[in-house]
Chains A and B, each alone.
Chain A
Amino acid sequence: MKSNLTFVEKGTRFLVNYSALIVLAVLIVVFGTLSPSAFFSLNNLQNIFVQASPGGVVALALTITMIVGEFDLSVGYMASLAGLLVFGFMVNHHDSFILSVFYSLGATSLLGLISGLIVSRLKVNAFIGTLGIGFVAVGIVYSFSNGALITGKTPHIVDTLGLGSIIKIQNLTLLWICCIAILWVVTERTPLGVHMRAIGGQARAAELVGLPVAKIRMWAFVCSAFLAGFGGIMLSMRLGSGQPNAGNGYLLDGFSATFLGRGFYRAGEFSVPGTVVGALILQVGYNGLAIIGMPTAAKYYFSGGTLVVALALGTIAGSYHFKLNDRKRKK
C-alpha cells in the first residue's frame, strides 16, 4: 500500500526514527570540527570505544529489563560489587582469575535472582525492589573491603584483558562487541526476544497467549545483574584495582543511553542497537568536552542534560507516533 504521508510528515518521522543517530553524527561533526586532529586520531577513537565499553555493557544490562517493561536500579551497585569482588578474590584469597570471575558473577546473578523473585513473584514495585537489592550490594561491598580499594598482584590475564588490544581494537571493546552481538541475536532473532518485547509491550496480552510472563521477567533481572557485574569486572580490569564505588555512576549513564536509544532502530522502544548508539553519544560527548578543554563540571551538565533531553525526546516521539498513526488510520 502506498504511503499517504506528506513530505513534512515523512521528514518528521525520519527525524524521530533516527534522532539518536543524528545526535551522534552532530556531536562527531561538532567536536571533529573544533579539534579535528585530536578528535579523529586513532588513539582517541580507541579511547572513546574503550571508555564506553564497561558502561556500555552495564547499559545493555539495563536494556534487558527495560525491554520486558521493568527497570533495574541496582545495575551500578552490581557493577561496583563484581569489580571489587573479583579483585578481592584474586588479591586477598589468591583465587584464580576464572574462579574469581565465576564467584563475582555468581554473587551478582544471585542478587539479580532475588530482585527478579521480589519483582515478578511478590509483585513488589521494581523501583523499590531493585533499589533495596542495590543497597544490599553496597553492604556486601563494605563488608568485604571496609570501603577500601583492593589492589595487588593479579594474574597476567587481568592486564591483557584490561589494557591489551587485538588489531588495534582494545580487548575491552571486543568484549563489549561480543555482548552486543549475543544480546542482539537473542533479542532480535529468537522467539525469546519476541516474547520479551511482547511482555514489555503488553504483558496482559502476552499472558493471554500463554507466555510465561513472570518467569521471563525474573530471568531478565538475573541476566541484567550478570551483565552489570560483567561490566563492573571490565571496569576494574581497566583500572587495575577493585574500587568500592567505581561502577555506581553507570546507573545514570545507563538510563541516559537506553532512553537515547529509543530514538534509533525501533523508534520509541528499548533495543540493543539503540542502547549502543546511546552509549556512544554519551562517550563521544564526554570525550569531546575533555578534548576542547571544558571543565569537569561540563561532563555532569552534559550527562544530566542528556538524560532529560532523552526522556523528553522519548515522550515527544511517543506522542508523535500516536498522532501519526491516528492520522494514518483516518486516511
Chain B
Amino acid sequence: MNSMTELILQLKNVSKKYVGLTALHPSDLDLYSGEILVILGSNGAGKSTLLKLMCGAESSDSGEVIFLGAQQKHWSVATSRSLGVEVVHQELAVVGELNPIENLYLGRELVVHKRWWPFLARRVMRKEGSDLLRSLGAQLSSLKGKTVELSGGQRQAVAIARAVGWGEKLIILDEPTAALGIAETAEVEQMIRTLRGRGLAVVLVTHRLDQAKNLADRVAVVRQGRIVGNFLKADIEVGKLAILITGEESASVV
C-alpha cells in the first residue's frame, strides 16, 4: 500500500464455527483507508461471516481484531459503530415508510431540548441531510415523500449516505447493486468511488467480476470458509478470479 494510507482494521487469525459447520477457517485480512476491498465468493463461501466479523455482528472464535492499532477485546456492532464503522445491508437498508431524511438519521436523530423533552431538529436534519446527499452526487426526487417511492438506486444512495454520515473510517457494503439496473448500478458505483476519494476504507461484497475489476483496489476471494486469494489491482484477472471462486484451481496469496 502507498505511504498515505492508514491501516484501519486488521483481522488476525479470526475464525468462526457454527454447530457442525466451520463457516470461516483461521484467516487474516487488512483494511486500509482510501482503498476499496472487494470480497468475492459464491453463496455459502463465508463472505457474510467475514463481513459480520468485521463489523462485530459475530464474535470470532479465535484470533484478534485490531482497529487503528488497538486490539479490540469486545468487538461488537455497538463498539464498531462508535468507532466509525458502518454497514449497508443488501436488503432492509432503509425503512420504506420513512422519508429519506428520517432514514439518514434513524437512531441518531438530531434533537433540540425544549424543557425536558427532546424534539426533532427537523430543519437542521433536512439541511445537513440534503447537503450530504448532494455531496455524494445522489439526486432524489423528493426528500419529503416516503423512501419506498424512490427508485432502487435512490434508496441505495440513501443507505450509503447514512453509512457515510456516521462511518468515519470504514464502510462495508453488502451487495449494494444486486437488485439494481445498469444506470442505477453506475450511480452507486460512482458513490463508492467518492467514498474512496474521501479517504474511507471501503469493503464491497459482490458476485460480479466486472464490478470487482472496475472498482477494486484489492480483491479477496473466499471459498469454503477460507480466503483463497488476495490480489492487488494490477494483478486482478477476471478469468483467474472465476477459477478461484469456483475452486477449479488454487492461486497464490499476495
By a beta-carbon cutoff of 8 Å, the part of chain A in contact with chain B is 1, 185, 189-191, 194-195, 197-198, 200-202, 204-206, 208-211, 269, 325, 328-329
Q: Given B78, B81, B96, B102, which contacts A202 in the complex, CB threshold below 8 Å?
A: B96
Tell me whether B107 and A202 are in contact (CB under 8 A).
no
Q: Given A201, A325, A329, which contacts B97 in the complex, CB threshold below 8 Å?
A: A201
Tell me whether B92 and A205 are in contact (CB under 8 A).
yes
Known contacts A194-B109, A206-B95; A329/B151 CB under 8 A: yes
Q: B126 within 8 Å of A by Cβ? A: no
Known contacts A197-B98, A211-B107, A328-B149; A190/B118 CB under 8 A: yes
Tell me whether A210 and B107 are in contact (CB under 8 A).
yes
Known contacts A198-B106, A210-B107; A191/B120 CB under 8 A: yes
User: Contacts of B93 on A, CB cut-off 8 Å?
Assistant: 205
Q: With the chains together, A190 CA to B92 CA distance in Å? A: 23
Q: With the chains together, A163 CA to B78 CA distance in Å? A: 53
Known contacts A190-B119, A202-B92, A205-B92; A211/B106 CB under 8 A: yes
Q: B196 within 8 Å of A by Cβ? A: no
Tell me whether A198 and B81 are in contact (CB under 8 A).
no
Tell me whether A210 and B92 are in contact (CB under 8 A).
no
Q: How far in angstroms is the closest Cβ of chain A from B3?
A: 36
Q: With the chains together, A329 CA to B111 CA distance in Å? A: 33
Q: With the chains together, A211 CA to B78 CA distance in Å? A: 11
Q: B148 within 8 Å of A by Cβ? A: yes
Q: List 18 A-B contacts (CB under 8 A).
A: A1-B141, A189-B120, A190-B111, A194-B98, A194-B106, A194-B109, A197-B102, A198-B102, A201-B97, A202-B92, A205-B94, A206-B106, A206-B107, A208-B89, A210-B77, A211-B106, A325-B148, A325-B149
Q: With the chains together, A204 CA to B93 CA distance in Å? A: 9
**List of 8 A-B pairs having minimum Cβ-Cβ separation, nearest first:** A201-B97, A205-B92, A191-B109, A209-B107, A1-B141, A201-B95, A198-B95, A329-B151
Q: With the chains together, A191 CA to B149 CA distance in Å? A: 22
User: Contacts of A200 on B, CB cut-off 8 Å?
Assistant: 97
Q: How far in angstroms is the closest Cβ of chain A from B82?
A: 11
Taking each of A1, A191, A201, A269, which has the highest tally of chain B beta carbons within 10 Å of its own beta carbon? Answer: A191
Q: How far in angstroms is the closest Cβ of chain A from B202?
A: 19
Q: How far in angstroms is the closest Cβ of chain A from B75?
A: 16
Tell me whether B107 and A195 are in contact (CB under 8 A).
yes
| Complex interface residues of chain B between 226 and 254 (CB less than 8 A to chain A) | none
Q: B62 within 8 Å of A by Cβ? A: no
Tell me whether A198 and B92 are in contact (CB under 8 A).
no
Q: With the chains together, A189 CA to B95 CA distance in Å? A: 18
User: Contacts of B142 on A, CB cut-off 8 Å?
Assistant: 1
Q: How far in angstroms is the closest Cβ of chain B from A164?
A: 29
Q: Given B77, B94, B118, B148, which contacts A191 in the complex, CB threshold below 8 Å?
A: B118
Chain A residue, CB-CB nearest to B119? A189
Tell me whether B107 and A201 are in contact (CB under 8 A).
no
User: Contacts of A189 on B, CB cut-off 8 Å?
Assistant: 119-120
Chain A contact residues, majority secondary structure: helix
Q: With the chains together, A284 CA to B145 CA distance in Å? A: 32
Q: Given A1, A190, A201, A210, which contacts B98 in the complex, CB threshold below 8 Å?
A: A201
Q: B117 within 8 Å of A by Cβ? A: yes
Tell me whether A198 and B97 are in contact (CB under 8 A).
yes
Tell me whether B109 and A204 are in contact (CB under 8 A).
no
User: Contacts of B89 on A, CB cut-off 8 Å?
Assistant: 208
| Complex interface residues of chain B between 134 and 159 (CB less than 8 A to chain A) | 139, 141-142, 148-152
Q: With the chains together, A269 CA to B146 CA distance in Å? A: 11
Chain B residue, CB-CB nearest to A324? B149
Q: With the chains together, A269 CA to B96 CA distance in Å? A: 12
Q: With the chains together, A12 CA to B107 CA distance in Å? A: 35
Q: How far in angstroms is the closest Cβ of chain A from B121?
A: 10
Q: With the chains together, A197 CA to B151 CA distance in Å? A: 21
User: Contacts of B148 on A, CB cut-off 8 Å?
Assistant: 325
Tell me whether B120 and A197 are in contact (CB under 8 A).
no
Q: How far in angstroms is the closest Cβ of chain A from B93?
A: 7
Q: With the chains together, A191 CA to B110 CA distance in Å? A: 8
Chain B residue, CB-CB nearest to A188? B120
Interface string of B52-96 (1 = CB under 8 A from A): 000000000000000000000000011001000001010011111
Q: How far in angstroms is the closest Cβ of chain A from B111?
A: 6
Extra inter-chain contacts (13) besides given A195-B107, A198-B98, CB under 8 Å? A1-B141, A189-B120, A190-B120, A191-B120, A194-B102, A198-B95, A200-B97, A201-B97, A205-B92, A205-B94, A206-B107, A211-B107, A329-B150
User: Contacts of A191 on B, CB cut-off 8 Å?
Assistant: 109, 111, 118, 120
User: Contacts of A197 on B, CB cut-off 8 Å?
Assistant: 95, 97-98, 102
User: Contacts of B77 on A, CB cut-off 8 Å?
Assistant: 210
Chain A residue, CB-CB nearest to B105? A194
Q: With the chains together, A191 CA to B122 CA distance in Å? A: 10
Q: With the chains together, A195 CA to B107 CA distance in Å? A: 7
Q: How far in angstroms is the closest Cβ of chain A from B13?
A: 28
Tell me whether A190 and B96 are in contact (CB under 8 A).
no
Q: With the chains together, A175 CA to B233 CA distance in Å? A: 68
Tell me whether A202 and B95 are in contact (CB under 8 A).
yes
Q: Given B97, B106, B111, which contacts A209 in the complex, CB threshold below 8 Å?
A: B106
